[in-house]
Structure 1
Amino acid sequence: MSEFELDGRIARDSDLVTELTLCQLRIQNDRRWPWLVMVPQRAGMTEIFELSPEEQALLSAEVNKVATALKTVTGATKINVGALGNIVRQLHVHVIARFEGDPNWPGPIWGFGQAEPYGESQKQDFLNKLVEALS
């Protein structure tokens, strides 16, 4: 069995927040939306159904925990959760806070405009609140 290796595109576009039991929790470097990416640390996985039933349950629990923390920290109108993977095949789940009036509300965020990187202090402030909400 091969070892888990993070897809280079995910590594390039996000930063590690913490490691959960199953997933790496990462923040997408785009301040337009509080956007988290969860990557199950299992080699060769592209689909949720490829995980064992126990891992599927753990993924669901971790996604719910992260989504709840994101909603608490941001007060978002809606939390979007999706596992698309058409371009980046490695199994990963997006957890995104959306607000009425955000840059593409209510449309999808994919392919909309250009990413706007966080300032370091802005990102750190958000992550401190998120990590506190997760604990």
Structure 2
Amino acid sequence: MFELHPQLKRDCRDLGRFTLCRLLLMNESRYPWFILVPERAGVSEIHQLSDTDRHQLADESALTAQTLAELFQADKMNIAAIGNLVPQLHIHHVVRYRSDPAWPAPVWGKFTPSPYDDGGLERVSERLIQALPAGLLQTGP
């Protein structure tokens, strides 16, 4: 049975589910940073997914990246499945700007996280949810 890794639960806000993946927002205010987690138990690598799930992951990742790039006017999208600290398969989608504090280096481990203020997490979450095609993201239990 699928269960979200405790570190992802601590670091992120759960926004809802696509067909395969759970969509999370990282609580790091320097970057619009979203994570897709395929809801498959015991999977730590993309190659462990079925052919159907790999294609679905690619589709959900491409849609997420395109939506984020347009919504946040990204200079570059950083997309990666690293998993060195959190073994559960998860795909980072980080909006990058030439003016951001880590540019051009990767954002991972660069700074101590700077959480959103009280309303910031909600505002960023709602912006993405509203930008996605209606009915694509399932929210709630």
CA distance in 2, matches of 1:123, 1:74: 15
Amino acid at match of 1:118: Y
Q: What does residue 25 of structure 1 align with?
A: 23
Partner of 1:132: 130
SS state at 2:54 partner: helix
Deviation at 1:114, TM superposition (A): 1.0
Per-residue displacement from partner, 1:42-91 (whole Å, max 9, x unpaired)?
A: 00000001000000000000001111111111001001110011111100
Unaligned runs of 5+ in 2: 134-141
Stretches of 4+ aligned residues off by more than 2 angstroms = none
Partner SS state of residue 8, structure 2: helix
Unaligned runs of 5+ in 1: none
Code of the aligned partner of 2:16: T
Per-residue CA deviations over 1:14-57 (Å, capped at 9, x if unaligned) read 01011111000000000111100110000000000100000000
Distance across 2 between alignment mates of 1:23 and 1:98: 22
Higher relative helix content: 1
> What is the aligned partner in structure 1 of residue 44 from structure 2?
46
The equivalent residue for 1:69 is: 67
Alignment-mate amino acid for residue 101 of structure 2: P
Aligned residue runs from structure 1 range 1-135, under 5 A: 3-135=1-133
CA–CA separation in structure 2 for the residues paired with 1:81 and 1:50: 19
The superposition leaves residues 73-125 of structure 1 with CA deviations (integer Å, 9 ceiling, x where unpaired) of: 10010011100111111000000000011011000111111111112322222
Amino acid in structure 2 at the alignment position of 1:36: F
Q: Write the distance in 1 (CA, Å) between the matches of 2:129 and 2:40.
A: 23
| Percent identical | 38
